[in-house]
Structure 1
């Protein structure tokens, strides 16, 4: 699942941001040593955090349908995981880095989810959208300055991209065949009740 998100992001950034420009796109850790070896303009999408997205957790079982819309199996809903990417631009001039960051920001603001056409087989099989969020406030237990400090580098302008990807690992339970006939009620002919006779003790007659 993680590698499919990487490839979807790679295709999206190359198509809508780089657009054939002579800029590298990598997923390396932007450490001090890596920055010293870099010699070409680069956009870096570094995956620095993976954790479950508990806000999207759901309970119960969900139905699996075939092409005719018939329930063929049941399974548990997928679990979502947040993949957090630190996006940074590396060039010789800060102005060029800012232009790249602006283009990246506009790109992800246009997409609330990864384009379905660029999804890998595992993500596409879920049939679910892959939400993305850009430049959101960091969690209370983490600051972006701490991420740069952990990498051993200096604080640099960057964007935080969060992708919520579903993972389906629950077993699938086959469903029984659908019922073809419903409940049928049959009723026989009812015999009409007899007509009431004269009251006891009275005889029929004139007047």
Structure 2
């Protein structure tokens, strides 16, 4: 799922924002050691955070149908996870880096979701939109300066791209039998005879009569009359 988003972003940037340019698109961690080895114009999309998008979580179950249109199973709705990318441009001159970032930003603002034609694998099969946002303020529990500090590098102009990707992996629950025009047929089997209550568990009223034992199978009218006469 994550690698499919990587390929969709790489294809979108190469065919749109970087069309005709000799710029590499990589997904490495932009550490200080990595930056020292960059010797060509490069756009880096570093995936630095993965968390569930709780606002898009749905409840209930979704039906799955066979060729005749009958429900065969049910499963949970897709759950969306936010993939946060730190996008940076690397060249010899800051002005060229700014031009690259400008082209990337213009490209991302033209789309509210990843282009459907560039989705492959599972994302292309399920046919669900993959929304994305760019350059929004970071949440209160995270700052980009902390990300750069964790990488051990120097603070650099960047774009924050968040892609909400659906994940369809969930348990499958088989559906029950279909109800036809004749309804559901129910059958009854033989009820085993109940065991007589033990004398230890039997209770009597103050007058000496036996209390009924609920759930026990009793005899017919003749047996009840005989019990009443015996009392």
Pick the TM interval, shorter chain: 0.7 to 0.9
Could you say what secondary structure the match of 1:83 adopts? Answer: strand
Query: 1:97: which partner in 2?
Result: 97
Aligned length: 183
Indicate the RMSD between aligned Cα atoms, in angstroms.
1.8
In structure 2, the CA distance between the partners of 1:65 and 1:116, relative to structure 1 (3 Å rule), is: farther
- Is the contact made by 1:4 and 1:120 (CA closer than 8 Å) also made in structure 2? yes
> What 5-or-longer segments of structure 1 have no aligned partner?
184-207
Cα distance in 1 for residues equivalent to 2:20 and 2:178 = 53
- Is the contact made by 1:126 and 1:166 (CA closer than 8 Å) also made in structure 2? no
The two structures have a TM-score, normalised by structure 2, of 0.74
Deviation at 1:55, TM superposition (A): 1.0
Deviation at 1:182, TM superposition (A): 7.4
> What 5-or-longer segments of structure 2 have no aligned partner?
184-231
The two structures have a TM-score, normalised by structure 1, of 0.82
- Name the structure, 1 or 2, with higher relative contact order (CA <8 Å, separation 6+): 1
In structure 2, the CA distance between the partners of 1:119 and 1:69, relative to structure 1 (3 Å rule), is: farther
Could you say what secondary structure the match of 1:133 adopts? Answer: strand
Cα distance in 1 for residues equivalent to 2:7 and 2:69 = 32
Query: 2:40: which partner in 1?
Result: 40
In structure 2, the CA distance between the partners of 1:155 and 1:169, relative to structure 1 (3 Å rule), is: same
Deviation at 1:168, TM superposition (A): 1.3
Structure 1 window deviating more from structure 2 (122-131 vs 86-95): it is 122-131
